[in-house]
Structure 1
Amino acid sequence: MFPTGRYSLLGEHVFVCASLVILSSMSPRGHPGGFIFIEGGSAVHNDEHYMRLALDVAKAGVGQTSPNPAVGAVVVNGGTVVGLGAHLKAGEPHAEVYAIRMAGEKARGATVYVTLEPCSHYGKTPPCADLLIQAGVRRVVVATTDPNPLVAGKGIAKLRQAGIDVDVGVLKDEADELNRMFFHYIAAKTPFVTLKFACSLDGKIATATGESKWITSSAAREDVHRLRAQHDAILVGVNTVLTDNPKLTVRFGEKRKNPLRIILDTKLRTPLDAHVVADKEAETWIITGGVSREQAAAYERLGVRVFSMPTAQIDVRDVLRLLGEQGVMSLFVEGGSRVHDSFLRAGAVNEVIAYIAPKLIGGRGAPTPVGGLGFARLAEAVELDIRRIETIGPDIKIVAAPKRKEESLCSLALLKRSARSNK
């Protein structure tokens, strides 16, 4: 919870994250985004309390900071919060900058709680480690280290060399989860892939006649738009474009940006008057397989970027490498079923989000979330770890992650060992 006290805001452009209100841009008078603390409570709290507050603040930037991570910072002096800040957009000040500005002279001798190791290098902004040293803080509590080779322990080392006490690992798991997409991108150089689908209780994404609007409730669809806003890009196959003519934009809640739209279209069948080409509400890329420059030119004249892969058949792994090279950190895959099959078979999915409606559709001809021929043997099926189950309106939302192959093999070995011991 937010500490006891009164708070005022500078500027007019605000949005709400959890129980916190954060400025989303510079105010008309040039004041920095963030909180202004007026009168604080005096209750004594531990490190986890303040780090949870920093994590809450950091959530304000989720989906807006790419290719940077989302970071929150809290400055505490004498048991009182004197400064808070969040990184809200790439190229703008980091969380520590806003927090230290707000704290002013009260930063001297204070403890700073930050959800990610302070940077130690010059990028679009100066090093935050230097800022903390210059501010005269006494102690810095870091939730998790930054895997970026430009930082990777250097920020912590610089703080310690300056005589600042540094503690690392407070609420590490929560901080790692917050920036799981960033961490994956830094390690793999490819986007973090979220595969999403909505289906009936009997696993159908449409009726046998193709009707699919709407299987799930408006509450579930609104949640999907929130997730879209948290990703750099949305990907669908050309069949989804031909069948549904989707906009692939964020249309619920506060729209801070529309993600990049990516269409997998082997033979360039996307209509020139499709929403994703004609509406100009978001940038669109089409990834195709070995088409001529003349074919691509018609789309490029309309502002669409066309990437032609070296072979006629598009390989998902090549697509992810391309997107990684283009700086796409996170990818929201929304279908159709053949695209889902391709990503799962390639082992390219990091997270699965399923919305299940309390409806029974039936029909052997009704499509399911994962198409193709399926797996011939149960041992080949993609095993999932269920991370979270919740209800959204009348629907059920399941968040899961595919098990790594080594985890599945280890589980199989343990089962075999158990079977032998029980004989």
Structure 2
Amino acid sequence: MGPLTDARWMAAAIALGERGRGRCAPNPNVGCVIVRDGVVVGRGWTQPGGRPHAEAIALAEAGEAARGATVYTSLEPCAHVSERGPACASSLVAAGVARVVAALRDPDPRTDGRGHAMLEAAGIAVVTGIGADAAQRSLAGFLTRQALGRPHVTLKLGLSLDGAIAMADGSSRWITGAEARAHAHVERAKSDAILVGRRTAEADAPVLDVRLPGLEDRSPQRILLASRHPRGGGNDEEWITIASPSAIATLEGVDWLLVEGGMGAAASFLAADLVDRLLLYRAPVLIGGGRMLGEIGLADLAQAHGRWRLADARQLGSDRLEAYERVRL
């Protein structure tokens, strides 16, 4: 198979992996496609709770058709045996696949190259790097946890044309339109947890669920940034409370964190340099005298440049979405 064909099937594998995002932490949301003679014979993605792995699902679907086939996976097949299942690299060897194309090497020290080595020792051809950029975005939650010991953080902001995130009295429902709000609910569905500050919880008593048909069961865990539980913010057992942005490192089973509000929470995460991705929903309205972000820790204007890279831009009804990724050298 040529590079273009490999890229096509890898894109399909990465897209499948997105189905597991926000549901399988601490395991990565891997996608896998098995192709034989140009036909898909097996496909899979990491299941809720982290097992079965994507390769195991795809191999089960392929059956005997996996022998001699090419496997496309967004991450190196695992090399460690777990009480929850065998190593995927061993399963691929046993299935007799001919070739494995992996977008990324697995940074987990239990695998980290050992999966590829097991495949190559069995005479299976291994190709890496195809679709690497897309796979890094798709697996950013797992990769951030491995590299930095914390979840990947997305900060969502709804803005007016003049940069306000709320009226002078603090009201912000609704700056953006229905299409932008629906997109924000998709982002919730792809997150393990969603965070707001104490003032937002007390003022709005937000439910923070997913209200899209068919995705209601994907509502994320609710996190509160506060020194104490808020009045009127729901039952204590429904929230996890953390005292500072850095405490996100202690959140178990959270690799994808969405920060939704309010101004204090947004500013504190930016000041701590814990935001990896910005989602700016810009509405075609002028507020004038509205509330802006507070201090985010910049000593001079020069520090503001070169920190963010535009990753996506699209129109959502009358609103404009811009997604930026933090540039970390």
Residues 270 and 296 in structure 2, CA contact (< 8 A), matched pair in contact too = no
In 2: Cα distance, 1:375 partner to 1:59 partner: 35
Residue correspondence of structure 1 range 110-259 to structure 2 within 5 A? 110-123=69-82, 124-253=84-213, 254-259=215-220
The 3 A distance-change label for structure 1 pair 79 and 380 is closer
Q: CA deviation at 1:128?
A: 0.7
In 1: Cα distance, 2:58 partner to 2:327 partner: 39
Residue identity opposite 1:151 in structure 2: T
Q: CA deviation at 1:211?
A: 2.5
In 1: Cα distance, 2:299 partner to 2:10 partner: 48
Q: CA deviation at 1:270?
A: 0.7
In 2: Cα distance, 1:210 partner to 1:374 partner: 23
Residues 197 and 224 in structure 2, CA contact (< 8 A), matched pair in contact too = yes
In 2: Cα distance, 1:258 partner to 1:86 partner: 20
2:301 paired residue number: 378
1:96 and 2:22 equivalent? no
1:344 and 2:270 equivalent? yes
1:284 and 2:239 equivalent? yes
In 1: Cα distance, 2:130 partner to 2:287 partner: 47
- Larger relative contact order, structure 1 or 2 (CA cutoff 8 Å, min sep 6): 2
* Larger Cα-atom Rg: 1
In 2: Cα distance, 1:207 partner to 1:67 partner: 39
In 2: Cα distance, 1:91 partner to 1:213 partner: 37
Residues 225 and 251 in structure 1, CA contact (< 8 A), matched pair in contact too = yes
Residues 22 and 256 in structure 2, CA contact (< 8 A), matched pair in contact too = no
Residues 194 and 351 in structure 1, CA contact (< 8 A), matched pair in contact too = yes
Deviations 1:366-398 (CA, angstroms, capped at 9, x unpaired): 211x22487463134373222111111110111
Residues 338 and 372 in structure 1, CA contact (< 8 A), matched pair in contact too = no
The 3 A distance-change label for structure 1 pair 379 and 89 is same
Deviations 1:279-304 (CA, angstroms, capped at 9, x unpaired): x7xx311234xxxxxxxxxxxxxxxx
1:265 and 2:226 equivalent? yes
Q: Secondary structure at the match of 2:117?
A: helix
In 1: Cα distance, 2:113 partner to 2:297 partner: 45
Q: CA deviation at 1:88?
A: 2.4
Residues 20 and 48 in structure 2, CA contact (< 8 A), matched pair in contact too = yes
Residues 69 and 182 in structure 1, CA contact (< 8 A), matched pair in contact too = yes
In 2: Cα distance, 1:106 partner to 1:169 partner: 25
Q: Secondary structure at the match of 1:334?
A: strand
Residue identity opposite 1:233 in structure 2: A
The 3 A distance-change label for structure 1 pair 84 and 64 is same
Q: CA deviation at 1:134?
A: 0.8
In 2: Cα distance, 1:96 partner to 1:107 partner: 11
1:64 and 2:19 equivalent? no
Q: TM-score normalised to the size of structure 1? A: 0.72
Runs in 1 of length 4+ with deviation above 4 angstroms? 373-376
Residues 28 and 50 in structure 2, CA contact (< 8 A), matched pair in contact too = no
Deviations 1:248-277 (CA, angstroms, capped at 9, x unpaired): 1111242232211111222x3611x43x32
Residue identity opposite 1:321 in structure 2: A
In 2: Cα distance, 1:371 partner to 1:245 partner: 22
Residues 192 and 330 in structure 1, CA contact (< 8 A), matched pair in contact too = yes
In 2: Cα distance, 1:232 partner to 1:200 partner: 28
The 3 A distance-change label for structure 1 pair 60 and 164 is same
In 2: Cα distance, 1:154 partner to 1:269 partner: 45
1:316 and 2:245 equivalent? yes
In 2: Cα distance, 1:77 partner to 1:115 partner: 18
1:392 and 2:316 equivalent? yes
Residues 91 and 125 in structure 1, CA contact (< 8 A), matched pair in contact too = no
> Which ranges in structure 2 are unaligned for 5 or more consecutive residues?
none
In 2: Cα distance, 1:110 partner to 1:142 partner: 14
In 1: Cα distance, 2:313 partner to 2:249 partner: 32
Deviations 1:142-172 (CA, angstroms, capped at 9, x unpaired): 1111111111111000011111111111111
In 2: Cα distance, 1:285 partner to 1:171 partner: 36
In 2: Cα distance, 1:341 partner to 1:74 partner: 41
Q: CA deviation at 1:199?
A: 1.3
Question: What is the aligned length?
Answer: 324
Q: Secondary structure at the match of 1:140?
A: strand
The 3 A distance-change label for structure 1 pair 105 and 74 is same
Residue identity opposite 1:225 in structure 2: H
CA RMSD of aligned residues (A): 2.1
In 2: Cα distance, 1:330 partner to 1:188 partner: 13
Q: TM-score normalised to the size of structure 2? A: 0.92
1:354 paired residue number: 280
Q: Secondary structure at the match of 2:40?
A: strand
The 3 A distance-change label for structure 1 pair 91 and 199 is closer
Residues 310 and 323 in structure 2, CA contact (< 8 A), matched pair in contact too = yes
Residue identity opposite 1:332 in structure 2: L
1:11 paired residue number: none
Q: Secondary structure at the match of 2:119?
A: helix
Residues 191 and 320 in structure 1, CA contact (< 8 A), matched pair in contact too = yes
